Amino acid sequence: MPVQILMPALSPTMTEGNLAKWLKAEGDAVKSGDVLCEIETDKATMEFEAADEGVLGKILVPDGTSGVKVNQPIAVLLLDGEDASAISAAPVPAAAPAPAAAVATVPVAIPSAAPAAQAAPAGDRVFASPLAKRIAKDGNLDLKAVKGSGPHGRIVKADVEAAIAAGPVKPAPVAASAPAAAPKPAAPVAASPFEPAFEELPNSSMRKVIARRLTEAKSTIPHFYLSVDCELDTLLKVRAELNSRSDTYKLSVNDFVVRAVALALKKVPAANASWGEEAIKRYTDVDISVAVATPNGLITPIVHHADHKGLAQISNEMKALAAKARDGKLKPEEFQGGGFTISNLGMFGVKNFAAIINPPQGCILAVGAGEQRPVVKAGALAVATVMTVTLSVDHRVVDGAVGAEFLAAFKKLIEDPLSMLL
C-alpha cells in the first residue's frame, strides 16, 4: 500500500510550517535517509529525510506553500513493486485526528481528492510534472496554453508532446468570472493622512513564535535584574597570548564568557534551573544557549556540556553553530533545550541592557561592551577596561541571593581568566 508522507513536527512549538523546496521530483527513487524537501519551521529551515524506501509517486503540496499543518499529507511514496495506479486505486479511510507527535510517514490510503493548494491553483501557477516542464521548456512551449489530462488537471508528458506537435497556440483567455488579483503598489503608500508611508513585511513562522514566546515570558515571568562590572584587562592579555600560539582557533571575549558561565553554574548549580508548576528542574548538565541573530530573528544554538569543554573547543563549536544558525541549517538537537542563555550585544557597542528570559529557563545573562572607564584602585584613580553584565532572573526559580552568588562567581572567573584554563 502507498505511504503518505506527512508534514513533520520538527520542533516542540511547531504546529505548521512552510514547504520551502522539494529536493526530490515525482518519479525519483527514494532511499531511507534521503533528503526529500526543505521545511521552514518556527525556528529554522531544516531538511526533511525519508524514513522509507520507494518512489516519490505524487507531490501533494508544491514548493513555496506556507501554513501547512503538522501531520497534513504532503506527498505519496510508492513502495517496491507499486506503480502510479496504486495512488488512485487505494481506498479512502475514515478521517481520524492526528496524534500530537506523529512519525514522518505512516502507511495509509490516499484521499481521492487533492489538497486545496493543488486542486485550486491560484494566479498564474501551472501544475505540471517535472518531465512535462522540461519538455515544454526545450520546445519553447507556454504551459498556460496546455490543458492537462493528468490527475486533477495536471499537465503530463503526453499533453506537452501533443501541444508541440499541433504547432504554436495562444494562451487561453482568463475567464471573466475570475477577476485578476489587484496589483501590489509599486512604492510604499500611507494608510491614512496621519500615518507615515510604509511597506508590509509578512511575518515568518519563526517571527510569529518569537513574538508569542517573548510576550508570554514578559507577561507571566516575574523578572528581576542584577548587574555587575567586570574588569577585562587581564582577560584581554591572556586572549591575545593564546591567539598568538595557534592558527586552529581564534578566541573571542564571548568564548571566555561562555566558559565562565559554565564554570560559575558548576559552582552555583541552583542558577542552572527552570520553572515547573509541580517542581523546579535543577539541571545536572551544563548546556548553554547562546543567542545568535539571523535574518529571520533570534535563535539560540546550544553548547552542550560546556563545563567539560576548553576555550578552543567552545570557540570552534560556537563559530560552526552560528554559521548554521544564520543559514537556517541547525538540527533540532542543536537549538532545543538548554538550561541557561547568554545574549551578547557588546559587539554593537551596547554598554548594558536587560534581556527577556528564554522560558522555561530561569536566567539569561546580558553582556555589554568592554570599554575603558575610570576606576578606583588602592585609593587612586585609574583606567580599566570594564564590561557590564546584567542577569535577568525568574524569581520563581532563583532567589536574589542565588543570583548574586552566581554573578560573584562569574566575575571572579572573568577577572582571573587563567583559572578557566585549569
Q: Cell 499537465 maps to which residue?
A: 155
Active-site entry in 152, 223, 304, 395: 395
| Strand arrangement, sheet containing 3-6 | 29-30, 54-59, 73-78, 3-6, 105-107
Query: What is the chain's length?
Result: 422
Cα–Cα distance list, 116 to 147, 337, 364 (Å): 19, 36, 44
Is residue 388 a contact partner of residue 228, using CB atoms and an 8 Å limit? yes
Verify cis geometry, omega within 30 degrees of 0, for the bond prior to 360. Answer: yes
Residue matched to cell numbers 475514515? 94
The conformational region for residue 33 under phi > 0 = left, psi -120 to 50 = alpha, else beta, is left
The alpha carbon of 119 is separated from its chain's Cα centroid by a whole number of angstroms, namely: 30
- Angle, alpha carbons 416-346-220 (nearest 5°): 100
* Rounded distance between C-alpha atoms, residue 271 and residue 247, angstroms: 35
C-alpha cell at 115: 489538497
Residues 203 and 38: their CA atoms lie apart, in Å, by 19
**b/e per residue 285-300 (b: at least 16 CB within 10 A):** ebbbbbbbebebbebb
DSSP-derived letter for residue 159 is: H
- The set of cell numbers assigned to 29 is 527513487
Q: How far apart are CA 217 and CA 215, in angstroms?
A: 5
Q: Any catalytic annotation for residue 395?
A: yes
Cβ-based neighbours of 171, under 8 Å, separated by 6 or more:
142, 144, 145
Cell of 106: 505512516
Question: d(Cα 359, Cα 276) in Å, to the nearest integer?
Answer: 11
Cα–Cα distance for residue pair 36/75, rounded to 1 Å: 10
Following DSSP, what letter does each residue of 271-311 receive, concatenated?
GSEE--SS--EE-SS--EEE-EEETTEEE--EETTGGGS-H
Contact predicate 414/256, CB 8 Å: yes
Active site residues: 395
